Amino acid sequence: MKFSILSWGAWSPHYQHASEWLNWPVTALNQATEQAAVPKLAHVPAMQRRRLSQLTKTMLEAINQCAPTEQCRSIFASQHGEINRTIGLLNDIVDESALSPTGFSQSVHNTASGIYSILSGNRAASTSIAAGKNTFSQGFIEAFGQLHADPEPLLLVYADEPVPQVYRQFSAVPECAIATAFMLAPANDTQAALATLTLTPINEQTNNELSIGLLLSSLAAKQNISGSFSGWHWELDCD
């Protein structure tokens, strides 16, 4: 699978703008600082912004940085989705407290997809992906299939945040909130590309392992990188 990356954006408590990924990695923030870090989303009306979960806010910030084209198809990938909001609702039920209508309506896995569609007026098709620890790579697999059927560029968004304490024994990642967005096109697309990304299946892990942070840092620095990640060999060519 081969893609042209036309634009990208990413947000985490440590790196809130694309240029800040040049500093990856840095000493981790303390937990209180991470929880307090939320995208400002100045482009979203305050009345709507205050109702959004942190996960949706991080996705919208990454998309805003990516600056996708109007009415483009989109793919939203998240391993855990709105699990933090869902756990909050379940706790309210246990406590026999009233459920928040907004919280309930925005507790589904594809919440961010719907919110993005409403805010941007994007009526193009949108797909939601959840594939366990391979969610990030499966998002690219879905993108490849869609681009094969229709070469028009599309938006791929990935985001996750730490799971609630009750589930920590079952999932150690991600360690902090992270969201990424990419405008992808076929590798032979005539539009100017920032980089080319190639994914090749591998039978076994190699010593040269990648991560989302490494990929984003290399994109920010415009440096080539390759290695194994999520069951695939990734090769980023920024030349």
What is the per-residue pLDDT across 216-227, written as a single tens digit (0 to 9) for each? 999 999 999 999
DSSP 8-state secondary structure symbol assigned to residue 165:
G
Q: How far apart are CA 214 and CA 224, in angstroms?
A: 11
Highest mean pLDDT: which range of 16-30, 92-106, 113-127, 166-180:
113-127
DSSP 8-state secondary structure symbol assigned to residue 147:
H
Is the predicted pLDDT of residue 36 greater than 80, yes or no? Answer: no
Q: pTM of the entire structure? A: 0.88
Q: How far apart are CA 219 and CA 239, in angstroms?
A: 11
State the pLDDT confidence band at 112, using cuts at 50, 70 and 90: confident
Mean pLDDT of the chain: 85
What is the per-residue pLDDT across 185-214, written as a single tens digit (0 to 9) for each? 999 876 788 999 999 988 765 667 888 999
- Residues in Cβ contact with 56 at an 8 Å cutoff, skipping those fewer than 6 apart: 82, 106, 111, 112, 115
